[in-house]
Amino acid sequence: MSDHIHARRNRAEKAWQTEHVVLIGSGSPIPVPGGMDQIHHFEPHPDHYWLTGHRTAGAVLAYDAHEGWRDFTPDLTEDDRVWEGLTERAGEPISGLAPWLAARKDRPKAVLGVPGGPLKGITTDRTADEVFAERLLHARRAKDSIEIELMRRACNATARGFARAREFAAAGVTERAIEIEMQAECFRHGGEKMGYHNIVGSGTNAAVLHFSPSARGVQENEFVLIDAGCQVEGYTADVTRTFVVGKPSTQQTELHGIVKETLLFGNSQCVPGKEWRELHLECAVRMTQGLVSLGILRGEPQGLVERDAHALFFPHGLGHLVGLGVRDASGYLPGRARSDRFGLAFLRMDLPLESGYITTVEPGLYFIEPLLRDPKRRERFAGDVNWDEVDRWIGVGGVRLEDNILVTDAGPVNLTESISLDI
Ligand code: GLY
Ligand code: MN
Ligand code: MN
């Protein structure tokens, strides 16, 4: 076993401090319905992968404080050898799991990762499962050197894709064609797959937060928003850039400038101890100040944010932890609850940053018709929003800028700094 897997297992043991037998399922392959003889791309549960370093379906990692760890994986079948060309599998045969469990039949157990499959029928106390899962999640928030290196590779491949997309984007080129060029370039530079569905939106499509690239051709002087990240050995970047094809208008330049200034401020604040909720609100106040200066919002920025007026234009959180998946180990510290406020309900995490965390910072300002044309909202925010001015902006679309920041004791390290922030 490699040193880093050994160190991760020590971190998990320390976090659990338990007499429970802990079982972590990697998950099972999901067949494509209809007898296609195909399975969906398999991604192991991140807890299992992080503690084993292999990406095997139907596997179980087992822990007993008195004995240590056992890594059970399915036996290699003739089909595996014939159809997939496999010659060996990590771990030990899963046929050993049943007797191993039988020898511990009176011990309390916790099931983490993906339940079912080889773990079907094991009785646990759901509260204990959740407590151990939460502790493991927290234990793996800080990235080790192997993870940081994989993130650097994912970010570098992503940077190549974004550079190519910017070079290729032109009036008449479709969102889909931009996606294809970007993705191919990512793959040429080490990206193994994309970490999530690519987002490419032009014009008003830039205001659709998770827009799927379409056959729409970009028009001269429009925004193009691209949100994409390559994955390398399970680790993904999550990057957004917004730029104009052709010559930016004054409105576009002003909007982009506010978001860019907020991104750079947000990046600079990613230091150990910084409370994420606080940083989200600080960035909301800065962007609100910008919207006041544009005549879109009226009043004092702090008060506007307290009344959630900013969320009409910034309806998502400032970011989330990223790495082993696009929402890696984000969440709320135990004891912290999700707010039901319009301006805070969507925060994906509420925790203090620590050295080794990798977080996205992703401020955005958008003119989203379903939010801004809603009569109830127009009434609720009648005193805070200059709705006539909003109507003059609604076709502009939106801007999001997103970097991936490694938090260190020596200050923030921007893993995506090489990707141009130019409009
Ligand atoms: N790509 C989705 C997000 O930025 O969180
Ligand atoms: Mn993103
Ligand atoms: Mn993101």
pLDDT digits (tens, 9 = 90+) for 252-288: 999 999 999 999 999 999 999 999 999 999 999 999 9
Angstrom distance (rounded) from CA 199 to CA 320: 17
Per the CB < 8 A criterion, the answer to whether 201 and 217 are in contact is no
The Cα 60–Cα 71 span in angstroms is 6
- 403 Cβ below 6 A of ligand 1: no
CA 363–ligand 3 middle distance (angstroms):
10
* Local confidence band at 35 (pLDDT 50, 70, 90 cut-offs): confident
CATH number of 145-414: 3.90.230.10
Give residue 238 CA to ligand 2 midpoint distance, Å: 5
Atom of ligand 1 nearest to the CA of 240: 4
Mean of the pLDDT values across residues 164-179?
Answer: 98
**CATH number of the structural domain 3-141:** 3.40.350.10
The number of beta carbons lying within 10 Å of the beta carbon of residue 121 is: 6
- The answer to whether the beta carbons of residues 17 and 149 sit under 8 Å apart is no
- pLDDT tens digits, residue range 319-349? 999 999 999 999 998 888 999 998 899 999 9
| Residue 47 Cβ < 6 Å to ligand 1 | no
Residues of the chain with CATH 3.40.350.10: 3-141
- The pLDDT of residue 238: 98
Which residue has the CA at smallest separation from atom 3 of ligand 1? 238
Q: How far apart are the first and last CA of the chain?
A: 48
pTM: 0.96
Q: Is 362 in the pocket of ligand 1 (CB under 6 A)?
A: yes
User: Which atom of ligand 1 is closest in space to residue 316's alpha carbon?
Assistant: 5
Sequence ranges of the chain with CATH classification 3.90.230.10: 145-414
Task: Over range 11-19, report the average pLDDT.
Answer: 95
Distance CA 54, CA 61 (A): 11
Q: Is 196 in the pocket of ligand 1 (CB under 6 A)?
A: yes
Ligand nearest to the CA of 211: 1
With the most atoms of ligand 1 within 8 angstroms of its CB, the residue from 240, 330, 358 to mutate is: 240
Question: Minimal CA–CA distance to 282: which of 267, 308, 262?
Answer: 262
In percent, the amount of the chain with pLDDT more than 70 equals 100
Contact 189, 154 (CB under 8 A): no
The identity of residue 398, as a single letter, is G
